[in-house]
Amino acid sequence: MTRIGILIGSTRPGRKGDQVARWVHERAARRGDAAFEVIDLRDHPLPHLDEPLPARAGRYQHEHTRTWADTVARFDGFVMVTPEYNASIPGVLKNAIDYLYAEWTHKAVGFVSYGADGGARAARQLRALCELLQMGAVTPRVSLSLHTDFEDHATLRPGAHHVNALETLLDHVVARSTEGRTATPTQRETDEAVIRRHIGEVIDAIRAKDLEGLRRLYSTDVVSFDIDPPLQHVGIDAKLKNWANVFTFFQEVTYEVRDLMPTVGEEVAFTHGFGRLSGTLPDGTPAGGMWVRVTFCFRKIDGEWLITHDQVSVPLDILSGKGVVDLEP
Ligand SMILES: Cc1cc2nc3c(=O)[nH]c(=O)nc-3n(C[C@H](O)[C@H](O)[C@H](O)COP(=O)(O)O)c2cc1C
């Protein structure tokens, strides 16, 4: 059955958010076309975002992130309940959203906001944020006024028209979530995920100094325009020699990749992003490394995506003729 999470966007003591979420849940539970559950951010006391990699990389380091990701991943769609704080959404809600990416994308979402003017500004910003995450934001919404929908500004007593608006919002969220749940991912989406995982395996193999693991990720005829001379490194053995040099240079090595943007065709794919090698030198000195631009090009060979070309570069300072190595993405 389609599962819809009703997310409470505020956590402060004395919040009204739980009253609003309870109202949404109570109305939703009468329907029977989906299973509804309240998600309370108080049950997920996330620190200010502390993941080293952006959520798009999907490689969460902390237990609290994995628990949060597992919770969000269980749902096919969401109703987000948000108050308006200083013309925006609460920081705690923004932080919780920022922690994840794939767990949100392509899922339906509807908004129930509240505030002096129905929390309209918060709802608008939340919609823009969810659209950025490629969520399917439905048009119907519910806006509750602190003046007219809360008795003594304290106890929720929504007008009848809000019940109708909520039903319409739920109709849309449930329909869209059910559609999304039953749709099979397109070949492009599957291939994009494979490309991301492939880069994840490159990262893992580098961190483990696993040359044989790396060998499996490139084509035998790979042409690498790596950062160091000569102009090109042709063939898998030349490429692995480069990695072997890196592994000698670093005692412990780590590799980060940010902002991967795969573009996938039937037999050819590419992705660009920013990469940084860092670690400790053999004498134990930490080496912070530098951010470089990196492009990976793939071909599908016998049904398997392999890196056939990579390009690593830093911008050039034209006047001095030197590479610029202190830029950050
Ligand atoms: C920090 C803060 C800022 C607020 N700013 C706004 C605002 O810009 N517009 C508005 O309509 N209400 C504003 N309010 C009032 C809240 O919308 C109202 O207190 C609401 O109940 C808060 O949600 P909560 O009780 O779930 O925390 C603000 C409240 C707080 C705590």
Q: In angstroms, what is the span from residue 24 Cα to ligand 1's centroid? A: 19
Same structural domain, 157 and 259: no
Residue 70 lies in a domain: yes
Q: Which of 160, 182, 204 is the last residue of a domain?
A: 182
The Cα 247–Cα 242 span in angstroms is: 9
Residue 329 lies in a domain: no
Residue 328 lies in a domain: no
Same structural domain, 311 and 261: yes
Q: What is the pLDDT, as a whole number, of residue 113?
A: 98
Same structural domain, 138 and 210: no
Same structural domain, 225 and 115: no
Same structural domain, 222 and 146: no
Q: In angstroms, what is the span from residue 109 Cα to ligand 1's centroid? A: 22
Residue 229, sorted as left (phi over 0), alpha (psi -120 to 50) or beta, turns out to be beta
Contact 314, 274 (CB under 8 A): no
Residue 116 CA: which ligand 1 atom is closest? 11
Q: Return the CATH number at 301.
A: 3.10.450.50
Q: What is the pLDDT, as a whole number, of residue 3?
A: 95
Q: In angstroms, what is the span from residue 208 Cα to ligand 1's centroid? A: 49
Q: In angstroms, what is the span from residue 229 Cα to ligand 1's centroid? A: 58
Burial class (CB in 10 A: 0-12, 13-18, 19+), 242: middle
Question: Does residue 118 line the site of ligand 1, with CB under 6 A?
Answer: no
Number of structural domains found in the chain: 2
Q: Which of 125, 155, 182 is the last residue of a domain?
A: 182
Same structural domain, 70 and 123: yes
Same structural domain, 112 and 34: yes
Q: What is the pLDDT, as a whole number, of residue 213?
A: 95
Burial class (CB in 10 A: 0-12, 13-18, 19+), 199: buried
Nearest CA to ligand 1 atom 25: 15
Residue 164 lies in a domain: yes
Which residues, given as ranges, of the chain have pLDDT below 70?
Answer: none
Q: Which of 158, 182, 206 is the last residue of a domain?
A: 182
Same structural domain, 133 and 36: yes
Domain of residue 112 covers: 3-182
Same structural domain, 294 and 235: yes
Contact 42, 12 (CB under 8 A): no
pTM above 0.85, yes or no: no
Q: What is the pLDDT, as a whole number, of residue 140?
A: 95
Question: Does residue 87 line the site of ligand 1, with CB under 6 A?
Answer: yes
Same structural domain, 309 and 194: yes
Contact 314, 289 (CB under 8 A): no
Same structural domain, 270 and 304: yes
Q: Return the CATH number at 61.
A: 3.40.50.360
Same structural domain, 197 and 147: no
The Cα 199–Cα 217 span in angstroms is: 9
Q: In angstroms, what is the span from residue 111 Cα to ligand 1's centroid? A: 16
Nearest CA to ligand 1 atom 31: 85
